[in-house]
Chains A and B, each alone.
Chain A
Amino acid sequence: MSNVKRGYIRPLDLKHGHIDMTHGSGGRAMAQLIEELFLAAFDNEFLRQMNDQASFPVPAGRMVMATDSHVVSPLFFPGGDIGCLSVHGTINDVAMAGAVPLYLSASFILEEGYPLADLARIVESMASASREAGVPIVTGDTKVVERNKGDGVFITTTGVGVVPHGVNISGDRARPGDAIIVSGTVGDHGVAILSVRENLSFGTSIQSDTVALHGLVADMVAAVPGIHTLRDPTRGGLATTLNEIARQSGIGMMLRETDLPVRTEVRAACEFLGLDPLYSANEGKLVAICRQEDASALLGAMRAHPLGQDAAVIGEVVEDDHRFVQMETAFGGRRIVDWLTGEQLPRIC
C-alpha cells in the first residue's frame, strides 16, 4: 500500500533544481513554477485571481505608462541584482513624469539550465522591492529559451501610474535660465557593476545606488508643481541624459565641474580605468530642471528627503543652437560634455 498522500505533487527543488524547457511550455511544470515561485513571492489580490491579466479602476488624471527591459550582467552586484533593478527602474521611469506609480507587470525570459536557487533570490529581491515601494506586480509572463540563447535571466517590467492635474513634466520643457539639479552622487552604479565584471575586479566599498525614487519625486512635485523636466540618468550616465534633454528642448547647458557630487571612490575607480564618472550609470538618482526662482525651494525639498540629501545645483540651461552641454572644468578651462560613443570601455592610453 503506498504511503504517499493522495494528490501529492513534488514541490520545486529551489535548492538544486534548474530551469528546463518544460518550465516554458505552458504545461504543468510551468504552472508549478509560476505558482510556487512567482505567485508565492509577489502575492497580492490581483495575482490570486490567477487570470492572464489584471483589472483595476483608474484614478482621475492623466495615465502614464513606462517599460524597461533588463539585461544587466552580472545578475548580482554589490547593492542589488537584476530583480530589484527591474522594479526600481520602471517605477522611476513612471515617476519621472511626476506620476504616482500604481502597478507593475513583469515578464521573464529564462535560460535553460539557470539555477532555481538564483532565480528564487532574484524573485525575492523583486518582491521585496515591490513591497517597499508599495507598487504591486499584478501580472506577468514566463518564457524559457534554449541554453546559450539567453544570459541567464532577462526581465521586462512595465509600469502604470497617474499624473496629478497641473503637473506637466517633460524633456522638452527646459528653458534658458533654468537651474539644473542632480539628486546625489553620480556614477555609483556603473562602478559597482565594473567592480564585479570579469577581468576588472577591484575591492571597493561602492554599492549600486538602485532605489525607487517615487517618494522623493512626490515631495518634489508637492514643493514645486511647475518643475520643467525630470529624468533618471541610467545607461550612459549623467552626460547622456543631459544631452538628450538638450536635444529635446533645443537648448544648451553650462555645468560646473566643482559642483558635481561624485564619491571619492567612484572618482578613484574611474582614474584606474580611464573612465569618466559623467558617463557611468546611475540607478537611484535623478536630474531636475526648474525655473531659477524655484531652485531654492526644490533643493530644500530634495535635501529633506533621505534619497536627496546630497542634492546640488550643477549648472544652468543656456541658449545654444548647437545644443551643446558644456562644462567649466575644475581646472578653469572649458570643455564639451558630449554624448557617449558606444559603450564606455576602459582604456590603457
Chain B
Amino acid sequence: MCLAIPARVAELLDNDNAVVELGGVRKEISLALVDGVVVGDYVIVHVGYALNRLDPEKAAKTLQLFAEIGLQTI
C-alpha cells in the first residue's frame, strides 16, 4: 500500500524541510506532518514527507524478540 522507508535526518532546513539520508543517498523531504524532529532522528518517509519518528529502543526490542523466539518452548 504505502511505500515508506526509515531514513536518518541529516540536516534541518528552513521552510519545515529536512535532508534525510539512507545508505549514502540524500533527499530533501518535508517535516510538515511531524513536530520536534532533530538531526539524528530516524523518520518514516512516504512520498517526500516524514510521517512519524522511529523509536530506536522499540526497534531494538523487536529485533530482540525475533532472535529470542527461537529459544522459547511451548
Contact = CB atoms under 8 A, between A and B. Distances in A.
- Classify A-B as touching or not with yes or no (CB < 8 A): yes
A265 B57 CA distance: 26
Interface of A: 202-205, 264-265, 267-269, 271-272, 274, 347-349
Secondary structure call for the B interface: strand
Contact of B26 (A202, A271, A349): A202
A272 B46 contact: no
Contact of A264 (B23, B45, B47): B23
Interface in B16-36: 22-28
Nearest to B3: A274
Contacts of B28: 202
A268 B45 CA distance: 13
A265 B23 contact: yes
Contacts, number: 39
Contacts of A268: 22-25
Residue of B1, B2, B5, B27 with highest tally of chain A CB at under 10 A:
B27
Interface residues of B, number: 14
Nearest to A347: B3
Nearest to A269: B25
B1 A204 contact: no
Contacts of A205: 24
A349 B3 CA distance: 5
23 contacts: A202-B25, A202-B26, A202-B28, A203-B26, A203-B27, A204-B25, A204-B26, A205-B24, A264-B23, A265-B25, A267-B23, A268-B22, A268-B23, A268-B24, A268-B25, A269-B25, A271-B5, A271-B23, A272-B27, A347-B3, A348-B3, A348-B47, A349-B1
A204 B26 CA distance: 6
A264 B3 contact: no
A271 B5 CA distance: 7
Contacts of B2: 348-349
Residue of B1, B24, B28, B46 with highest tally of chain A CB at under 10 A:
B24
Given A272-B5, A274-B3, A348 B23 contact: no
A205 B23 CA distance: 11
A267 B3 CA distance: 15
Given A202-B28, A271-B23, A272-B45, 13 more contacts: A203-B25, A203-B26, A203-B27, A204-B24, A204-B26, A205-B24, A264-B23, A268-B25, A269-B25, A271-B22, A274-B3, A348-B3, A348-B46
A265 B24 CA distance: 5
